Structure 1
Amino acid sequence: MKPVTPDIPALSLRDRLVQYALLTRLHRPIGILLLLWPTLWALWIAAEGMPDLLVLFVFVAGVALMRSAGCAINDFADRDIDGHVTRTRDRPLASRRISAREAVGVTVALALTAFALVLLLNPLTIALSVVALVLAVSYPFMKRFHHLPQVHLGAAFGWAVPMAFAAQTGEFPPPLAWLLFLATILWTTAYDTMYAMVDRPDDLKIGVKSSAILFGEADRLIIGILQALTLVALALVGLLAGLGGLFYLGLGIAALLACYQQYLIRDRNPKGCFEAFLNNNWFGLAVFAGIIASYLFSAG
């Protein structure tokens, strides 16, 4: 596959920074939010309420930095693919407005900044952050090797959970943390499959692998199963963490949102699938609101 245009234009510093912002999807913060929700779930549960302010700052900033770095390395990995996909052909690297070297440089700068923040935390969290980096950097290349890169993304997003427990408690994450990690993988696989359904026609043409292609006509059913398993796992998290009825109210709202997402993808229309993907932001918020409300208002 050849790049869309052969030359990289000379840009002013301001215009180049704009391209870097587009590269890291700062104009589309949905990825940051989807990574942020399970991080906040974990921090609040680990602290049994409001977490340490330094830990909270490091994780919120780290989420923004690492998601942005992930977008940059993703576009580097897909620089000769994105130009052939309708949804991504205008990305800065695919359209050759910046170079591959610049994308790598942005990735390294953001990842190093995130790592510098992690150095403010305890040694166990620092050690776990190495795994987070490996998962984040390797994810974009997985679509070349197997049909479940969405699961790999789930692990990359979910790794913030054991890190959050380690940062807040100073101890190795308990079974509760790993159950929440599993819930995050299930949820991410479900919503990222919705996202992959948008690109399925283009991906089939160029030979890119995804869960949407693997699941085929069973995609809606499997997404529904993943959503149900996510809700069950979160309910068990609530039980183990001793969360009250308000948590389960939030989880009930999340379940209704999952049903609405099934409605949106009923015809497998790309617009509807993308709307279902975006709607998961409200799913994550509903669960988080339930966690906060439980700690604020439940007796115990």
Structure 2
Amino acid sequence: MSAPDETPEPAGTVADAVRGNWVDRWAPEPTRPYLRLSRADRPIGTWLLLIPCLWGVALAAAMDGWRQWDIWIILGCALGAWLMRGAGCTWNDITDRDFDAAVARTRSRPIPSGQVSVKQALIWMVAQMGAAALILFSYNWLTVLLGISSLGLVAIYPYAKRFTWWPQVFLGLAFNWGAILAFAAHSGTVALPAVLLYAAGIAWTLFYDTIYAHQDKEDDVLIGVKSTARLFGAATGKWLGLFLILTVTLMSAAILTALLPTAGPVKLGLALIAPWAMGWHLLWQMRQLDIDDPEGCLKLFRRNRDTGLIAALFLAIGGLV
């Protein structure tokens, strides 16, 4: 008999999901394996895909003002991030099913645990991509082309850890594409500020995903998977410091190129709080980090939702001035 303070985990739960998440508690039983395949039980990835979109539309709005259409850009990006993150995770689990079966943290995922077949996973992936396409085609044609062009990055990422020590770069290229896409959805063009913002997001991804990768470094050694966590080892702190500096510098450059010389000092000052507030939050994470504490690494990784939203908030305020 279970102790009073212990609640048995529902069948099929994933080891690294948040305990008591909405999928395990409330989702209809037949949908749970598919929602777990999409990481719906772990929303942090959706946030990390959405946040660069918020940066992009907010920076574009800071240049020429917010418009009613921006409400749909934000809502569409939120829905699209949920769907495409789910499709990307499904593809990742299809390609990594043998690796996942060999790692304690991931062997409970739907494919290696037998909850979903590869064929079922492929059908689910296509369904999610189709729903995301309906949202994408509501935007201008430049945004549509940008969205389609990102699929190559999504397809390559799961294989990156097989051939490079820097798979986090490929994740950054894919996860931050929304900064350019949302900027184009608002402005109808791709300008230098959007490219600099995209680069800032890549540096940020290198920061947070290196922390994330330290959870699996021992298993990665055994199965031959590469990562920046393994590459940096004890020097991780120095590399994280470099990524922090790059994130703050590139985002500051994006804001300056977008708003100078037309913006007044109040607008410019508010917008520039974004990278520096983000930088302080990243510095706090570095001070808390113990690379040999997997649970602590996961907690810090999840805190990057707050890091990115801090920047989005001040960029949005800058656009309202």
- TM-score, normalised by the number of residues in structure 2: 0.84
- Residue 232 of structure 2 corresponds to residue 215 of structure 1: yes
| Aligned residue among 50, 53, 77 for 2:66 | 50
| Aligned residue among 279, 299, 305 for 1:281 | 305
Task: Tell me the distance in 1 between the aligned counterparts of 2:163 and 2:222.
Answer: 16
The answer as to whether partners of 2:211 and 2:291 remain within 8 angstroms in 1 is no
Q: Mean Cα displacement is larger for which, 159-168 or 74-83?
A: 159-168
Matched position secondary structure for 1:93: coil
Task: Tell me the distance in 1 between the aligned counterparts of 2:81 and 2:59.
Answer: 18
Structure 2 match to 1:166: 184
- Residue 39 of structure 2 corresponds to residue 25 of structure 1: yes
Structure 2 match to 1:97: 115
Write the deviation string for residues 77-98 of structure 1: whole angstroms up to 9, x where unpaired. 1111112212212111121111
CA root-mean-square deviation:
1.7
Query: Mind listing any 5+ residue stretches in structure 1 that lack a counterpart?
Result: 1-12
Structure 2 match to 1:239: 256
The answer as to whether partners of 2:193 and 2:258 remain within 8 angstroms in 1 is yes
Partner letter of residue 125 of structure 2? T
Partner letter of residue 275 of structure 2? L
The answer as to whether partners of 1:42 and 1:164 remain within 8 angstroms in 2 is yes
Matched position secondary structure for 2:98: coil
| Aligned residue among 266, 274, 279 for 1:255 | 279
| Aligned residue among 125, 128, 148 for 1:130 | 148
Task: Tell me the distance in 2 between the aligned counterparts of 1:72 and 1:143.
Answer: 17
Query: Mind listing any 5+ residue stretches in structure 2 that lack a counterpart?
Result: 1-26, 260-266
- Residue 282 of structure 2 corresponds to residue 268 of structure 1: no
Structure 2 match to 1:191: 208
The answer as to whether partners of 1:132 and 1:160 remain within 8 angstroms in 2 is no
Partner letter of residue 277 of structure 1? F
The answer as to whether partners of 1:257 and 1:279 remain within 8 angstroms in 2 is no
Partner letter of residue 77 of structure 2? F
Task: Specify which structure has the bigger relative contact order, considering alpha-carbon pairs within 8 angstroms and separated by 6 or more residues.
Answer: 2
Task: Tell me the distance in 2 between the aligned counterparts of 1:111 and 1:117.
Answer: 10
The Cα of 1:14 is off from its aligned counterpart by 4.5
The Cα of 1:184 is off from its aligned counterpart by 0.8
Matched position secondary structure for 1:80: helix
Write the deviation string for residues 18-55 of structure 1: whole angstroms up to 9, x where unpaired. 11011111111000001111110101111334352332
The Cα of 1:105 is off from its aligned counterpart by 1.2
The Cα of 1:179 is off from its aligned counterpart by 0.4
Residues 74-113 of structure 1 aligned to structure 2 (within 5 Å): 74-113=92-131
Matched position secondary structure for 2:104: coil
The answer as to whether partners of 1:22 and 1:92 remain within 8 angstroms in 2 is yes
The Cα of 1:68 is off from its aligned counterpart by 0.9
Query: Identity across aligned pairs (percent)?
Result: 37
The answer as to whether partners of 2:172 and 2:206 remain within 8 angstroms in 1 is yes
The answer as to whether partners of 1:220 and 1:266 remain within 8 angstroms in 2 is no
Task: Tell me the distance in 2 between the aligned counterparts of 1:85 and 1:253.
Answer: 36
Task: Tell me the distance in 2 between the aligned counterparts of 1:247 and 1:170.
Answer: 22
Task: Tell me the distance in 2 between the aligned counterparts of 1:167 and 1:59.
Answer: 10
The answer as to whether partners of 1:186 and 1:227 remain within 8 angstroms in 2 is yes
Task: Tell me the distance in 2 between the aligned counterparts of 1:247 and 1:261.
Answer: 23
The Cα of 1:212 is off from its aligned counterpart by 0.9
Structure 2 match to 1:4: none
The Cα of 1:190 is off from its aligned counterpart by 1.1
Task: Tell me the distance in 1 between the aligned counterparts of 2:93 and 2:277.
Answer: 35
Number of paired residues? Answer: 284
Matched position secondary structure for 1:89: coil
| Aligned residue among 244, 258, 266 for 1:227 | 244
